[in-house]
Amino acid sequence: AIVGLQASGKTSFVNVLGTGQWSEDVVPTISFNLRKVKKGNVTLKIWDVAGQPKYRSLWERYCNGVDALVFVVDSADKEKFETARFELHQLLSQSSLLGVPLLVLGNKNDIDGHASVNELIKALQLDKITNRPVSCYSCSMKSQHNLDIVLQWLAARSH
Ligand SMILES: Nc1nc2c(ncn2[C@@H]2O[C@H](COP(=O)(O)OP(=O)(O)OP(=O)(O)O)[C@@H](O)[C@H]2O)c(=O)[nH]1
Ligand SMILES: [Mg+2]
């Protein structure tokens, strides 16, 4: 399941994974989309969940039972880090999601002044998450930077 605040780039991520192509042409998600992406011999079944405030109460429902959680952050929008931190820890406090591996993506690293991985770890208090494996990568859907290691991370959590 892919969650995170609105406009962080969740749908762009799924689009780039699925088509290999970047497009600016993306609309805010309403509720959720279920997407299937085949990469080599792995088929990813992805819940792309909407990030606007009114949809955030849905996140737990779509995260329940998944092999991995991906939390996408706009690393160039530092004013939203506090809200992102709050929503992430709120989600992880749900007992149904105990132990599920977490990948935090600091997206939009093509934009000047974006936060580094270390800044994200601090701002989102990722060091306080002790009840599951946690990884954090800086990436860009636009330039496709680090998409290869993101895909490797996901493939390693499949069964
Ligand atoms: N510069 C830059 N822009 C990006 C990147 N990824 C996404 N965007 C832009 O960010 C905006 C939001 O992208 P979406 O993929 O719709 O974001 P979302 O997280 O799915 O948003 P919701 O569906 O509302 O939760 C769009 O204008 C994208 O073109 C990136 O890596 N770099
Ligand atoms: Mg979306």
Q: What is the pLDDT of residues 67-87, one digit of tens each?
A: 999 999 999 999 999 999 999
Q: Which pLDDT score, from 0 to 100, does residue 158 have?
A: 81
- The alpha carbon of 131 and the centre of ligand 1 are apart by a number of angstroms equal to 29
Q: Which atom of ligand 1 is nearest to the CA of 23?
A: 29
Residue 151 parent element (H or E):
helix 147-156
Q: Can you tell me the distance from the alpha carbon of 145 to that of 122, in angstroms, rounded to the nearest whole number?
A: 22
Q: Which pLDDT score, from 0 to 100, does residue 144 have?
A: 97
Q: Can you tell me the distance from the alpha carbon of 83 to that of 87, in angstroms, rounded to the nearest whole number?
A: 6
Q: How far is CA 66 from the centre of its chain?
A: 13
Closest CA to 28 of 44, 41, 47, 12: 12
**Sheet of strand 42-49, all strands in order from the earlier edge strand to the far edge:** 32-39, 42-49, 2-3, 69-74, 102-107, 134-138
Q: What is the mean pLDDT of residues 34-52?
A: 94
Q: Is 110 annotated as a binding residue?
A: yes
- The alpha carbon of 146 and the centre of ligand 1 are apart by a number of angstroms equal to 16
Using a pLDDT cut of 70, give the percent of the chain over it. Answer: 100
pLDDT at 26 over 80: yes
Q: Can you tell me the distance from the alpha carbon of 134 to that of 156, in angstroms, rounded to the nearest whole number?
A: 14
Is any ligand 1 atom within 6 A of the Cβ of residue 28? yes
Q: What is the pLDDT of residues 76-131, one digit of tens each?
A: 999 999 999 999 999 999 999 999 999 999 999 999 999 999 999 999 999 999 99
